[in-house]
Amino acid sequence: MLDTLATFDWTGLLTGWGLRLAGALVIALVGLWLVRWALRLLGGVFRRAGTDTMLAQFLINVGRAVLLLLVGVAALDQLGVPTTSLLAVLGATGLAIALALRDSLSNIASGVMLITLRPFRTGDVVQIAGQEGFVEQVRIFQTVLRTFSNHEITLPNSQITASPIINFTARGQRRIEVPVGVSYNADVARAREVLQAVARGHEKVLEDPPCE
């Protein structure tokens, strides 16, 4: 037994592990530098394209996570760790997390859709999910409205994309209905003429299309 241990090539073993460890460190360091460079490049592309800040930051965070995972797998593979089994475990873990957080993931997907498709913007007056108010902020998980009574309403994004969205300020021109009550004995035609004259005299009422 002692003779066997004495003849074992410890130098070769240590040298082999040292080279593997050095290679893994080089892969990790170079990979981290490449990740930072790629993310800076991606951020510059988003800025030049005028991409929404929230969407750009979300995509950059997702890209960072994916790239760091690839760098980690490459470094472990250099050390001799069986990455196939590791990826299988990570996949199963990711699936379990996705199932546990499916409502949150639905809100994230809806938030990305709202930021990308732009059915409304910050400051627009909207009616969504039965609520009316000014759009204060569109977040990844939630959208914040400020009502005309200065109340703050926070709505899950998945609830917004699943319901009709009415944007009152999307168009430059809008027709406003003003209910006016008159006496049953009043001359309806004359009352109509008076109301139309009052409307036409207002500076913000357009001549075309005419008020009716």
- pLDDT digits 0-9 by tens, 150-193: 999 999 988 898 889 999 888 877 777 778 888 888 888 888 88
Q: Is-cis flag, bond preceding 210, omega within 30?
A: no
- Which letter, b or e, does each residue of 126-151 get, where b requires 16 or more Cβ atoms within 10 Å of its Cβ? bebbebebbbeebbbebbbbbeeeee
Angle, helix 83-100 to helix 53-79, in steps of 10 degrees: 150
pLDDT grade for 96, boundaries at 50, 70 and 90: low
87 and 23 housed in the same domain = yes
User: Is residue 141 a part of any domain in this protein?
Assistant: yes
pLDDT given at position 97: 59
User: Is residue 109 a part of any domain in this protein?
Assistant: no
pTM of the shown model: 0.55
User: Is residue 6 a part of any domain in this protein?
Assistant: no
Looking up residue 38, the CATH number of its domain turns out to be 1.10.287.1260
Q: How many domains does the chain have?
A: 2
40 and 85 housed in the same domain = yes
Q: Among 148, 130, 128, 151, which Cα is nearest to 138's?
A: 128
Structural domain boundaries, residue 24 = 16-100
Decide if 173 contacts 204 (C-beta within 8 A): no
